[in-house]
Amino acid sequence: MLRCLSRTPTLNTSSIRKPIAYARSLNTMAPTPNLPTDRRPIVISGPSGVGKGTLYNRLFKEHPDSFTLSVSHTTRDPRPGETRDVDYHYVTREAFTDLVAKDGFVEHAQFGGNMYGTSKMTIETQTAKGKVVVLDIEMEGVKQVKNSSIDARYVFVKPPSVEELEKRLRGRGTEKEESIQKRLTQAQNELAYAETGVHDIIIVNDDLEKAYKELVDFVYKA
């Protein structure tokens, strides 16, 4: 009696595509940043409590590979929870004054006995990485940047009214009366300065969604 031996056919794998490795390579490819056409640094200013941080932090969250906040130098000690070179570049007063003497800052000022400043190197380093640098600075800093060699764009975030700004400051629950009055006086000065036309755009932060759309439209305009 003859037994029929079945042979398993040999599978030719040479012509079979291998999608898994290709798919894996696609998954590991770096995403293309959604960079604006105009990549100059963006200087954002406005009174304390107006909501500047809320606006640009949302911009960073939605476009993490396109924008970065300039990290300032300071002579003060790190506070609990702060990280060196993330929150600030912490330096000695001697090192700070040495940078001032070497014209290393775009802007610098003194608050509460401590020095703060934005170094040119910080802006250049982040720009070289392909990111648009955002500077959150106050009025005197804006004046200094305008007198520097930095070609930037200027955004002023304005409250709907001084009364509304005061309401927001008091709503924080962290300010003493003296501090609130100082901030309101400074706000009046900043609002008056903004009326001189020194900024490229003034955004009234009355409605957060509307204000954010105005910021994005300005940043990405051709």
CATH (domain of 161)? 3.40.50.300
Q: Is residue 24 in a domain?
A: no
Q: Which amino acid makes up residue 193? A: Y
The per-residue pLDDT for 112 is: 78
**Global pTM value:** 0.80
Q: Is residue 22 in a domain?
A: no
Residue 93 β-bridge partners: none
Structural domain boundaries enclosing 73: 37-220
Distances (CA, A) of 72 to 6, 89, 94, 109, 198: 77, 6, 16, 11, 23
Helix (H, G, I), strand (E, B) or coil at 212: helix
The per-residue pLDDT for 222 is: 64
The per-residue pLDDT for 219 is: 97
Number of structural domains found in the chain: 1
Query: Which parts of the chain have pLDDT scores under 70?
Result: 1-32, 222
Q: Is residue 21 in a domain?
A: no
Q: Is residue 124 in a domain?
A: yes
